[in-house]
Every structure is written in structure tokens, then in C-alpha cells.
Structure 1
Amino acid sequence: MLDVSPVMPVVVVDDVADAVPVARALLAGGIRVIELTLRTPAALAAIEKVASEVPEIVVGAGTVTSPAQARQAVDVGARFLVTPGCTDRLLEAVSGTGLPFLPGAATVSEAMRLAEHGVREMKFFPAEPSGGAAYLKAIAGPLPQLRFCPTGGITVESAPRYLALSTVGCVGGTWLTPKDLVAAKDFERITVLAKEAAELG
């Protein structure tokens, strides 16, 4: 899951009509994955639209915080799941879907607990407030077998610091699809940002 693209766009969609144009804009810029977060009422319908109309992009559901959301995401065609943190109940639910998933962890203990359940790839969130690239570099010593997708406060400028680490497969970023560009339907600018992000790999 971490090798599809150097940057995984973390996208919040308020209007279902924007989902497909955003996905196509990212794809035109060389980004082949999109995480649509379940933070708005439009999210599930947006995932369904992208899954059916832009099959070339790997669409996933982010901000999955309950077993019910995990089931709903599967039903609308999500191809992977991302959680901000992970309780035992949520871990059981997302793993039970059969989809690839990135459970969230912010501490060494949380990462170790997920590893005990066989998880080797996870989300590091919130990345910048939790210590950033320096933190991940430090824990690579005791936990070299784990790989991360850091998300939270990362920018196009800071992303290379994370991507240089052996334990980072990709980074998650909201900077590719800022709310103002989506609201203005400036999809050409999103394609430009996607091209810049794709080149980070």
C-alpha cells in the first residue's frame, strides 16, 4: 500500500460533484492513489463515484474511526482503509474487511501493539506534532521492520525529509487538494501540485 505513490493525497470533499474532477486532476499529475476522508456527509458517495468513474486511481477511505464506517467504505468500493488511531475493536473490523489498511499510531507502544497483531505498515499521525521525521528516524533503530505513512502537517517542503527515511514508504498530504482550490474548482492547479508531489519519488 505504501509503494503506489510517494505522496498519498488526503482529500476532504464537501460536494460529491468535486470528487471525480479532483481524482482525475491528481491522476493527470501522476498520482495514482487518493484517500477520501470520512469527515463530511459527502465522503461515502464521493468514494463510490471515484471507484466507478475513475478506476485507474486507487481510492481509499480515510478517517475510519468505527467498525460501521469500515463496512460502509467497503460497500461503496473503497480499496483500502486508513484510521487515525486504532482500538482493538477497530483493528478487528478493518482487518476483517480483507482490504489493505493503514492503522494509525503516534507512539512506540502503539506501533509495537499493532506489530504484535501482525501489522507491518501503518500511518504515523499526527506526524509533525508528534515529533516529525526526527521521531521516525529515532524509532527506526528498535523498530526497523515497520514502515510508515506519516500524515499531519506535512508540506511539499518537509516531505523529502520523511521520504529519505528507510522506514517511510510514502507521506500523506492535504497540500495537493487545498479546500480553496477545490471550492474554486481549480483542478488545473491541483494537477500542477500533483506533478510536484509525484516528482518527490
Structure 2
Amino acid sequence: MSYLAPGTPENVALAQHVNGRLRAEARIVAARAFLFRALGFGSFAALAGIGAGAAFYGYASMHEVQGAADKLAAALTTALSDVTLKTKGEVTLTDNTLRLEGGLPKGGGRPDVAALTTNQGKSEAPATTAIRTSFTVFKTVPYLDGSIVTGWNFKGDEAKPEKQYCYVTRPQSFGDGTTSNQTTVAIDGQVLPQPTRSEVNFAVIARNCVWFDPSKL
């Protein structure tokens, strides 16, 4: 074994070689650290980009749904503004009785149909065509905020009604207006079956129906 003296060419060469090796390893370590930092930054940027893209996509989807909802609401509003609602009802007199001029005859219990039909339809209908006149007499009884109405359907040549029916009518709000809700409870004196979910008691209402009675005319 030999020992090299300080300052000898061999010792200087060995020192330079060791220094070069240390610098190379330091550069390798620095390169690896830079690589790891770059990978970390790149992963962070990629995840941030994915998150931002998902956020923008969600925001755009929400606005697209909101826009579709607004369009649907506008279409429904336009459609409803063009719709004409029609209601069907019956007009009753304030004194609760439909009266014919001249009143009802005492003997027959019905109006003078011949007087009502005089000179009606002669110019329009052929001579061979039979003209039938029918009418309805309404009897009304107040009930809560509505009324109980009994209708007598007469033919022109009968002393008693051909058919009778009784219904209850009450006002019902519909949008900005008010219409009537009509429920038939009895026909020809017979109470109809009580519906399961009906708020109207048919038996109670039927006791207030005014059925045709010649003795009371």
C-alpha cells in the first residue's frame, strides 16, 4: 500500500474525480426533484382544469334547463291566453218560481200550450210537419250559498211532467271568475246513489226537492 502525498498529481486527479462525481450526483438529485415538482404541478393543473370544466358544464346545464323551463312556461302562458273557457248553467228567477203570463189553469195544472204556440212555425215549417212544444218549470229552494233546484219537464199536451229532476248548485271559484257547480241528487222522486267521495248528502238534499203535486197548484 502506498500513500500519496498532498499536492501530488495523483491526489489532485483523485480529488477532481470525486468532486466531479459529487456534482453529477447533485445534478441528478436536482433533476429528480424538478421532475417530481413538475409532475405535481402538472397533476394539480390537470385536476384544476377538470374541476373547472365540470363546474362550467354544470352551470351551462342548469342555465339550459332554466331556459327550457322558461320557454315551456311562456308557451303554456300563450296557450292559456288563447283558450276560451265556456260554462253551462241555468238561469233562475229571483222569486224562485218560473211564471207564465196568465198563470196555470186551475183544472189542468199546466199552461195553455195552444196560446203559447199560436202562429209559431207556420211560415217556416211544412204543413205536414208536427210542431212539438216542451217547457221546463223550475222550483228553487235556497241552500247555504247556493240553491236546490227541481225541474219539471212538460210536453205540450200533458197535464203532468214527463220527467222531473232535482239538483243542488253552489258557486265555485275558477281562476279570476266564479262559476256554478251542479250536482244531480234525484230523478223522478228517486234519490240517486250517494257517491263515496261526494261532499253533498243526497238524502238531505232530496228532502228539499219540490216534486210535482197537482193538489198544491
- TM-score by length of structure 1 reads 0.20
Q: Give the greater-gyration-radius structure (CA).
A: 2
Q: Which has the higher strand share?
A: 2
- TM-score by length of structure 2 reads 0.19
